[in-house]
Structure formats: structure tokens, C-alpha cells
Structure 1
Amino acid sequence: MKARATLTSMKVIAVGLLAMLASMIGVGSATAHSVVLSSNPENGAQIAAAPERVSVTFNEALQESFASLTVVGPDGNLWTKGDPSVEGATVSAELGELGQAGDYTIAFRVTSADGHPVSGTRTFTLTQAGSGTPGAAADSSGDSGSGGIPLWPFVAAGVLVFGAGLWFALRTPRERN
């Protein structure tokens, strides 16, 4: 009788481990996000004059909601004009004439087609000063997190549920008199 219970317990553990392994197989593809393919100006480019619009292009379509695209100059001011627009896989904003020569940072935050937020920066250098007028000072209170919902609470909950199920399956029933 005890050998049968041990064999049953081993089968339950094996099935549980296989189920856990099978559920983890798809994790790699589920965490893929949009990636930047190019920008205008290109990352690290040295330009003499600003383009009319600055843009960042991704490998997949973007959601139009909540897109953000700004250019911050070496003076710490915003240089984009108006709200960004999304067309397919590209987010862009009007730029206009820039000011002093130096490094400019394109900061973006978009929502990919699968609903995950993607953010980052690209830089370019203006080699000749322009006559543009800067916008407001860039907000220095932006969050530095990766964005999105943290994964660890879901992993912890899954481990707890799996452990409770395994405990319930392996516990030895009490004999009734």
C-alpha cells in the first residue's frame, strides 16, 4: 500500500514539474518588446541644421495613445513643438530651428502593439548654432524606471499556487476510525 502511495506521489511531482516547464517555454517570446530600428536624426549623428521633424521608427506598429517624444538641448530646454504623432511604426514631432551648438537628446516613450511601454533616448550633435527659441525647461522629475507592470508579483503568486497545489496533492490523508 505504501509503495503505491509513493508511486502516485512521484507521478504527481513529475506531472507538476512538466506543467511548470511547459508554462515557462513561452515566456521568452511573451517578453519581447518593440525595438528601435532608426531615428531622424540618426543616433550619434552630427548635423549642421535641424530637420523639420524628429522621428523614431520601431520594428512594429505603435499604439497612438500615450506617445511621448521630446528633444532636450544642451541648455536643458525642450525644443520640440506640439504633441507627437504616431503613424504605424513611427512616432514623430515637429522640431523647427534649434539653438546653440551641442548635444541634443531625443527622449521617447511609446506603447507597442502588444501593450508594453517602451522608452529610451537617442542623441545627436548640432555642429552649427541656430537661431531658434527654446521652449520650457525640461522636466527633471521623470521616472527612471523601466515602465510597465513588474513581473515578480506574478511569478511569486504562481510559485505559491503551485506549492499549495503540490502540498495538497502530496499530503497523506488521515485514516478515520
Structure 2
Amino acid sequence: MSARLRLLAVTTLAVLATLIGGGVAGAHSVVTGSVPDNGSSVATGPAQASVTFNEPLQSSFATMTVVGPDGNLWSKGDPTVQGQTISVPVGELGPTGQYTIAFRVTSADGHPVSGTRTFTLTTQGTGTPGAKAGGSGSAGDEGSDGVPLWPFIVGAVVVFGGGLAFALRRPRDKG
């Protein structure tokens, strides 16, 4: 086997290993529970809403909101992360109906995880709502799941193309 073919084979295997090798690290944190429970009905709202995961979370960039059936924010203040749980103060709720807990956290492996949980308030409360929810800042409205994949694909193609060009180049005639 010539040196060029060996180099081509090694380059191809390296690129394939880079692209395929991420499968094991692909497991992210998963929700194991929430307060209130997902889909539950409650007569009075909790003092705080929380979501618990199967592994510890990173505290950086964590967001969590509680949005009522009126489209207003009912969460009060910033979320806190303690171990496997993210929580946010809620306070007295208002209108009856479905409330949505939206969250975005960074798992222990560095990947962002986002989602929603819901609960229904069955008895009208007397709380005062926050601002209207919406816009690009709420946790449940993110269109991306974190770091885009395309730069890694472009990088792999460039590395592969460079290795292929190097392996297939013809030596210059010395003459």
C-alpha cells in the first residue's frame, strides 16, 4: 500500500471517527419530576415552581418562567439551581386555567436542555401578574437547542477535503 493511500485511509477514518464518535456523549439530562406535577390540577399555586433532573445542573445560563392562561408572567425573580433542581419563586396566582413552566438549563455535560411542564389552577387567586410573556427572551421560545451543528460539519468537510487534496497531490517534476 502506497504512502498516499495509507494517508487517505487514515484521514478518512479520522473524519468518520470524529463525526460518529459523539454518540455516547449525546445523552442529556432528563426531567424526573416537577412541582407542581406535570399535568396536575391545584387549588392554590405553589410558593415556587421547580423542575428536577436525573443529574446535577450547571447554574450558568439557567432560565425559568411561569406563564398563566392570561399570557402574563407569574414567576417572580430569577431562577436558582441547586444540584439537580431549578426553581423560581411564584407568589399568589390569579386566573384559573393552565399555567406553563418553561425552562432552559445546562446539563452536566454542557448541553442545553429546554422544555415545558404544565399545571391547572382550579380556584381563582388574587395575585398580581407580571409583564406579558412573549418576545425572544422567554425560556420556552428558543428556536435552537443550543450550539448549532453546521460549523462542525463544515469543519469536518474542510479537514477531509484538505487531507484528500494532500493525499492525492502529484509530485512536481524536477527538471
- Please give the range of the TM-score, normalised by the shorter of the 2 chains: 0.7 to 0.9
Structure 2 SS opposite 1:18: helix
Structure 1 SS opposite 2:78: strand
Structure 2 SS opposite 1:137: coil
1:163 and 2:161 are equivalent in the alignment: yes
Root-mean-square deviation (CA), in Å?
A: 1.9
Structure-1 separation of matches of 2:161 and 2:10? 13
Structure 1 SS opposite 2:153: helix
1:167 is aligned with what amino acid? A
Correspondence for 1:75: 70
Aligned residues: 172
2:11 is aligned with what amino acid? G
1:145 and 2:143 are equivalent in the alignment: yes
Length-normalised TM-score, structure 1: 0.86
Whether contact under 8 Å (2:104, 2:112) holds in the other structure is: yes
Whether contact under 8 Å (1:119, 1:146) holds in the other structure is: no
Correspondence for 2:56: 61
Structure-1 separation of matches of 2:21 and 2:41? 42
* Structure 2: segments with no counterpart, 5+ residues: none
Structure-2 separation of matches of 1:71 and 1:124? 10
Moved over 6 A (4+): none
Structure 1 residue 57, shift from structure 2 partner: 0.7
* Structure 1: segments with no counterpart, 5+ residues: none
Matched residues, percent identical?
A: 63
Structure-2 separation of matches of 1:147 and 1:63? 16
In our comparison, the structure showing a higher alpha carbon Rg is: 1
Structure 1 SS opposite 2:64: strand
Length-normalised TM-score, structure 2: 0.87
